[in-house]
């Protein structure tokens, strides 16, 4: 059965707007799991702009499916991951200034550092996935690091603004997925996926899991707003009717 990992970083982004305690990523993870999420994904960024160390520790205690920690290969973050022991680590490139992860990890260009990080995490029993562009060369290098999984970066596919470009991108993703499967790797995909483009990419049978964040959180805000307003309006009215 194809799986869905839900990235809840932006629950913490909303919390950080007021630097308070709500909304709590642990509550959000519980709701996602109850709704059928197969894993909970969070990115512990070097600048801790949304998810922080305490969130990851609390999620480690509460997540019942699989905790997938997105992380850079920065030694400080790798130390944190080895302490927290998520079920899975997804290695991503990270730049301070970026709004979100831009592009896949250059496994070829950083081969030794990636290979050493993979080995260190695996020694602690953590499954490792590498987030890479749909390139066969990168997939081959990913295999050589010893990682058992790849997550194919779907950002370019998601940003395609013509049918022709989308078809080209989907071709690359399909080829990359087939290549990774031929090496015996598990294949995941994510970044920029939404309720429309999932209809196209879901046809690639080699992809076992989609990791999706932003579009789900946006949809939750829109479809949840009606109930949130009604609840508040009822509270205000109740106060008036009871004195």
111 is a site residue for ligand PXP (CB under 6 A)? no
Structure-block tokens of residue 53: 């160390």
| Nearest alpha carbon to residue 88 among 49, 145, 50, 43 | 43
User: Residue 24 in 3-state DSSP?
Assistant: coil
Which residue of 131, 133, 145, 201 would you call a contact of ligand PXP, by CB under 6 A?
131
Question: Between 43 and 120, whose beta carbon lies closer to ligand PXP?
Answer: 43
Contact between 192 and ligand PXP per CB under 6 A: yes
Told to check if 193 binds ligand PXP by CB under 6 A, we report yes
Residues 12-41 that bind ligand PXP (CB under 6 A): none
Residue 43 designated active-site: yes
| Per-residue x/- track, 137-156, ligand PXP (CB under 6 A) | --------------x-----
CA angle, 61 then 62 then 64, to 5°? 110
With CA atoms as reference, report the closest residue to 88 among 190, 158, 16, 15. 190
**Selected binder of ligand PXP within 88, 90, 117, 138 (CB under 6 A):** 90
Residue 142 · residue 132 · CB < 8 Å: yes
Q: Does 55 bind ligand PXP (CB under 6 A)?
A: no
Q: In 3D, which of 242, 179, 169 has the Cα closest to residue 207?
A: 179
Strand partners, 151: 131, 188
Binder of ligand PXP out of 53, 64, 100, 219 (CB under 6 A): 100
Of 82, 127, 214, 220, which one interacts with ligand PXP (CB under 6 A)? Answer: 214
Q: Name the 3-class secondary structure at 29.
A: helix
User: In this chain, which of 55, 190, 206, 209 binds ligand PXP, going by CB under 6 A?
Assistant: 190
Contact in structure between 29 and 39 (CB atoms under 8 Å): no
CB of 216 to ligand PXP, least distance (A): 7
Q: Quick check: 50 binds ligand PXP (CB under 6 A)?
A: no
- Residue 234: phi and psi, rounded to 5, are -65, -40
Which of 10, 50, 153, 191 does the annotation list as catalytic?
Answer: 191
Active-site residue set: 43, 70, 191
């Amino acid at each position: 059965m194809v799986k869905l990992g839900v990235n809840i970083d932006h629950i913490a982004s909303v919390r950080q707007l007021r630097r308070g305690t709500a909304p709590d990523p642990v509550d959000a993870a519980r709701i996602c799991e109850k709704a059928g999420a197969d894993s909970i994904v969070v990115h512990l960024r070097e600048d801790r702009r949304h998810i922080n160390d305490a969130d990851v520790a609390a999620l480690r205690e509460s997540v019942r499916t699989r905790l997938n920690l997105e992380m850079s290969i920065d030694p400080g973050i790798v130390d944190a991951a080895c302490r927290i022991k998520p079920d899975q680590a997804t290695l991503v490139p990270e730049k301070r200034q970026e709004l979100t992860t831009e592009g896949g990890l250059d496994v070829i260009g950083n081969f030794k550092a990636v290979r050493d990080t993979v080995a260190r995490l695996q020694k602690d029993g953590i499954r490792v996935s590498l987030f890479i562009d749909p390139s066969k060369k990168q997939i081959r290098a990913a295999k050589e690091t010893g990682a058992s999984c790849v997550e194919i970066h779907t950002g370019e596919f998601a940003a395609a603004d013509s049918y022709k470009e989308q078809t080209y991108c989907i071709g690359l993703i399909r080829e990359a997925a087939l290549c990774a499967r031929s090496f015996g790797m598990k294949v995941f995909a994510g970044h920029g996926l939404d309720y429309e483009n999932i209809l196209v990419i879901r046809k690639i049978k080699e992809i076992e899991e989609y990791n999706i964040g932003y579009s789900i959180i946006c949809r939750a805000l829109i479809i949840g707003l009606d109930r949130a307003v009604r609840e508040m309006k009822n509270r205000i009215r109740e106060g008036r009717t009871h004195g």
